[in-house]
Amino acid sequence: MPGLSKRQKALRDASPYWLAAHGKTEIYYPYIVYRKRAELLEMLGEWDRAEDIHRKNLEWLEGHDFRHQAAISRMNLGWLMNRKGRGREALALLAEADKVLAECGTEYDRCNVYNKLGNTCYRLGEYRQAEEHFKRSLEMSVHQGDLEQEANAENNLGNVYGDLGDIDRALEHYQKSYRIGEQLHDAYGNAKTAGNLAWCFFAKGDYPQAMEWYQRQAAVASQCGDKYLLSLAIGNMVTVFLQEKEYGRAREAIGRRLDLARELGDKRGLSVSLSHLSHLQKLEGDLEGAEKSANTAIALARELDARYFLSMFLNERALLLQEMSRTEEAVSSNNEALAIAREMGVAKLVADAALLGAKLATEREEAIELLQGLRGLVLEPHQAAKVQAELFRLTGEEENRARALELYRELSVGDGGEECRAEMEKLSAQKGRA
């Protein structure tokens, strides 16, 4: 076949997917076909098969000195490792890809690798590094007019600020991402953002609105056959069911997500579902079952080095142990949760652990010090109200009661405000400092 370079001949001989067109002069490169096949398998939830293809593709590309395309394959493999919960391995693969793409990659490639590096750092709880990568990706995507990557970066920045407790800032980025998706008619991309918008409404206490957005996400995921996105949507719905005391629906949804997580090999999703199951078992009075589920969730979070979830699960186990009158164990679990949360700088997790620590403290001064240490942190409205209410309980200061009542009053408007109104009644009935 005339006109073929050595590299093209290698491509022709390497794969049964080699095709020719336009008089046998233009080559359809087989590694592209392999890559697309791996991406499809990844979406369909066949992660092990996708990984096998990515690794074989990478080995072949490196063996034939396709440096740029090998870096792309390494980046895609790193992203899959991130989804499988192998964050440190993912970070190493992505960092290697970044070095090569900085030299020979396109702006699109570099923008893409920054997004994936940011996502991996985000899942490892390294928020400032994640923010830096996402900002670089956003800057590059705007410069090259790539609206799809711009939407990704906006959505990802929202994730960072949401975890750090700045819900309004997170919501602003999610809304920007969603508007771009609508402009692109990107229903699939917007389904991912829909789940994050739902989380914002959930954090603000608007549970019906949160459920509406989670259902949108689940509908698109089902239509696309994306089992991972469907699993996320179902898991998120559980939080609403539990909040609304719809325990039967919660149990059904937990079972569905456990099945999907096991099918995918998604250990992160499995750990979250076990945490949800533990919470439900606790509410139903099965404390022994709840402890078993919580311990398994914690073990998975440790294995994954998922520090955000580890801190959250440890705090939840401490609450369970407190209910079981195992105070010493509760203090130990909660102290570890607080230490991890402080190291990460996640205000929500710090506040959860500090609130429980104040209740477990044997000395009043210790409890007050824990809560006063939250000053300057950006807290979710529900948390801020709880902190002020607990400070009033400990100090009797009217300023704390007034602030707590103000926050609960704002949160009590509309559906889902019953608990806040009940807290207002309790606060109003308590005596302050004489």
Domain housing 24: 1-105
Per-residue pLDDT at 282: 97
Any domain includes 43: yes
Number of domains within the chain: 1
Distance (Å, rounded) from C-alpha 275 to C-alpha 266? 14
Helix ranges (H only) for 84-226 are: 87-104, 107-123, 127-144, 147-163, 167-184, 187-203, 207-224
The domain that contains 70 carries what CATH number? 1.25.40.10
Any domain includes 238: no
Q: Percent helix, strand, coil in the chain (nearest 5)?
A: 80, 0, 20
Any domain includes 28: yes
Any domain includes 79: yes
Per-residue pLDDT tens digits for 275-311: 999 999 999 999 999 999 999 999 999 999 999 999 9
Per-residue pLDDT tens digits for 340-374: 999 998 888 999 999 999 999 999 999 999 999 88
Any domain includes 351: no
pTM of the model: 0.80
Any domain includes 126: no
Any domain includes 39: yes
Distance (Å, rounded) from C-alpha 216 to C-alpha 210? 10
Any domain includes 319: no
Distance (Å, rounded) from C-alpha 134 to C-alpha 129? 9
Per-residue pLDDT tens digits for 133-188: 999 999 999 999 999 999 999 999 999 999 888 889 999 999 999 999 999 999 98
